[in-house]
Amino acid sequence: TYFGNMAKTLSGRRKMTSFDRGINVVSRLLIRFMLIMVPLVFLINGLNKHDWLQALLFAISIAIGLTPEMLPMIVTTNLAKGAVNMARKKTVVKHLNSIQSFGAMDVLCTDKTGTLTRDEITIERHLNVQGEEDVSVLEYAYLNSYFQTGLKNLIDLAIIDKAAEESVTYLSTGYTKVDEIPFDFSRRRMSVVLKGRKGETLLITKGAVEEIFQICSFCIYDGKTVPMTDELRAAAVKVADGLNADGMRVIAVARKRNPSEEGVFGVGDENGMTLVGCLGLLDPPKKSAASAIRSLGSYGVHVKVLTGDSETVTR
């Protein structure tokens, strides 16, 4: 499996760095020099003084002098000093040669969320297909996040906080939860099924824009449910792209009334849905992010950002 291969790779022998190879080259060079010099010293001294025992002892002393027996201790001491200096600057050091690896780095791969950003998500916009502020988008998103079981992530908490700010949290009292279709990374969306006071059921789904658009056959336009034409789909994509261009992450929200008469709900019910709109989420960068990236660039280190967000948001 993929995880098995990953575990095998991580548990395998670590590849030698340029520093390790350099140490080995120096050690082998000194040893080869010793193997060449010892016989020569032994023969020359023995032939000149005709005292082969003294010549042997002298050759052995030469061998001991040329052997780099102190090299490991000297290298370890210097690396340990560098590791201590890094630790004093609140750096987690796992290997003694970290200081050398850090200095030899020319590409730095970093996470974005929580590393370059504050990891403090806020809801900035809630837009319908027409690109207008529409509180109903927030209302449906709130019902989805509120009735979701398990540990709520930062997006859910941001939606709930925004709903409280705009005084729409009262909506949760009018519904009871019937079922839930959990999030998974293949669908990139999650759904809850709610039952209203009149007995009607409501499926609310939120997730990645592309995945939500794929399951929507209708959309809300001018307050009415209309078929999702190519023009309306293009308009919805334009709204999402506009939020991305402003540096916001985007999730889409959709709904479906009375999705199943059998009372058993699953992924198959996530089709023929009605697109409600999009939420724009902002996770502002840390104040130190820009200066840190510029500083790395001045030292010849290229920064690569690893993120699940779109390229527009990352830039």
| Residue 47: count of CB within 10 angstroms of its CB | 10
Integer angstrom CA distances of residue 304 from 108, 109, 297, 301: 6, 5, 11, 10
CA 267 remoteness from chain centre? 27
154-165 vs 135-147: helix crossing angle, rounded to 10:
130
Residues 6+ apart with CB under 8 A from 264: none
Nearest CA among 24, 33, 23 for reference residue 65: 33
| Residue 94: count of CB within 10 angstroms of its CB | 6
Task: Let me know if 134 is a catalytic residue.
Answer: no
Q: Which helix (H) or strand (E) holds 182?
A: strand 175-184
- Rounded CA gap, 275 and 130, in Å? 12
Residues 6+ apart with CB under 8 A from 190: 144, 148, 180, 181, 182, 183, 205, 206, 207
Of 20, 51, 106, 111, catalytic: 111
Q: Return the active site residues.
A: 111
